[in-house]
Chains A and B, each alone.
Chain A
């Protein structure tokens, strides 16, 4: 009796020990598998992060800017080309974030450009044509005014359009008369600009400016370049604009 009992006990202990060992092995194997899976997941996310950073359109824009292919014939520059900094702003007259940048920093940047601290170059383009004709109409008017009355009046016209920017969600946008009125307010001669504004005389240049911006890698507005680098540092676009001013002061 006692002999058989101790034998059974011994067998049970052996069995339990074998099972415990198997359990340990399995726990170990599952832990290693888990670590491997976590490592693969981390590698995928991390790799995606790096690929995303490499694919950012900012890289293409900076490359185009560096190679000089991005220089535009359809731009408006303020300030000396010898200024220590250069700012290039791609913008659409209807884009609300462009409006925020202009309303926040436009005056200060212009003053800095006139003081020789920065060369400020605007490259207007059309992005929001899906919302209506205003983007293209305004850009056409801009080129008409620039041609007829010169850069200074065109800059004033540009500033007026952003100061009184229509909302994206409007169903009826400002018409040619409104644009003519702004042009006159900016200092243009109505007789010299009315026909061009009403007839979309510079539609080819509107298309060419937009195409050139696209070729320079610009996919959206506002796109800001500070000394050849895409600048978009800020919690909001107000902050981006403030930081931009601070960077060239």
Chain B
């Protein structure tokens, strides 16, 4: 059951990342201005981060949706969302009226402050789902299960951790007898 819930969490968080990244991909200049609007990063960092975030979000979304490196992707997802929550809180505390730029359209927006609590709540919810994926560690319909399959020995844990049965001589004998 937990593993199905983890699948749902993966799809929701991954879907949000995928969408957020894809809408930002066509306009790198707008992405840069969204980053600058937070007034957080030194000037020299603004451009690289503006270029990096959209593809990073798309790949992160893909990894979560497909279930590739699921745990690592979910950790990164939680960390990145944490950074965004910090950014929005910062903008709020500084009295900046900016569109969060979460889904494109960043920059000044005189009515933005009313959105901050909802944006933070949304991101916190996504963090909770990411943490859940990390905690469960594995979920249904993940490519990880194919990539990191345990071929040599059965049975294996579905999460890919290696809990191989410790064979004692007695058990071995037992198996021999059964054959």
Contacts and interface: CB of A to CB of B under 8 A. Distances in A.
Do the two shown chains form a genuine complex with each other? Answer: yes
Interface of A: 8-9, 11-12, 15-16, 19, 22-23, 25-27, 30, 33-34, 37-38, 41, 44-45, 47-49, 51-53, 55-58, 96-97, 167-169, 219-220, 232-237, 239-240, 243
Contact of A26 (B32, B68, B152): B152
Nearest to A18: B152
Interface in B43-65: 43-44, 46-48, 51-52, 54-56, 58-59, 63
Contacts of B107: 97
B152 A23 contact: yes
A236 B176 CA distance: 74
Interface in B140-164: 147-148, 150-153, 160, 162, 164
Nearest to A33: B147
A97 B29 contact: no
A165 B148 CA distance: 61
B43 A243 contact: yes
Given A11-B172, A22-B152, A33-B147, A219 B51 contact: no
Interface string B12-42: 0000000000000111111111001001111
Given A37-B147, A44-B59, A235 B43 contact: yes
B41 A52 contact: no
Contact of B41 (A15, A220, A232, A235): A235
Contact of A8 (B36, B51, B173): B173
Contacts, number: 120
B151 to A, nearest CB: 7
B30 A26 contact: no
B172 A15 contact: yes
Interface string B88-131: 00000000000000000001111100000000000000000000
B55 A15 contact: no
Nearest to B165: A19
B69 interface: yes
B167 interface: yes
Contacts of A48: 25, 54-56, 58-59
Contact of A37 (B42, B56, B69): B69
A237 B27 CA distance: 19
A53 B42 contact: no
Contacts of B46: 232, 234-235
A234 B28 CA distance: 17
21 contacts: A8-B169, A9-B169, A11-B172, A12-B167, A12-B169, A12-B172, A16-B167, A19-B167, A22-B152, A26-B153, A33-B148, A37-B68, A44-B59, A49-B52, A57-B27, A58-B29, A219-B27, A219-B30, A232-B32, A232-B36, A232-B47
Interface of B: 25-33, 36, 39-44, 46-48, 51-52, 54-56, 58-59, 63, 68-69, 107-111, 147-148, 150-153, 160, 162, 164, 167-169, 172-173, 176
Contacts of A240: 43
Contacts of B52: 45, 49, 52
A97 B36 CA distance: 11
B110 A236 contact: no
Contacts of A45: 52, 55-56, 59
Nearest to B50: A52
Nearest to A10: B169
A102 to B, nearest CB: 15
Contact of B39 (A34, A232, A236): A236
Contact of B28 (A27, A41, A52): A52
Contact of B33 (A8, A33, A220): A220
* B28, B32, B109, B176: most-surrounded residue (chain A CB, <10 A): B28
B77 to A, nearest CB: 13
B164 A30 contact: no
Given A44-B59, A169-B111, A234-B43, A26 B169 contact: no
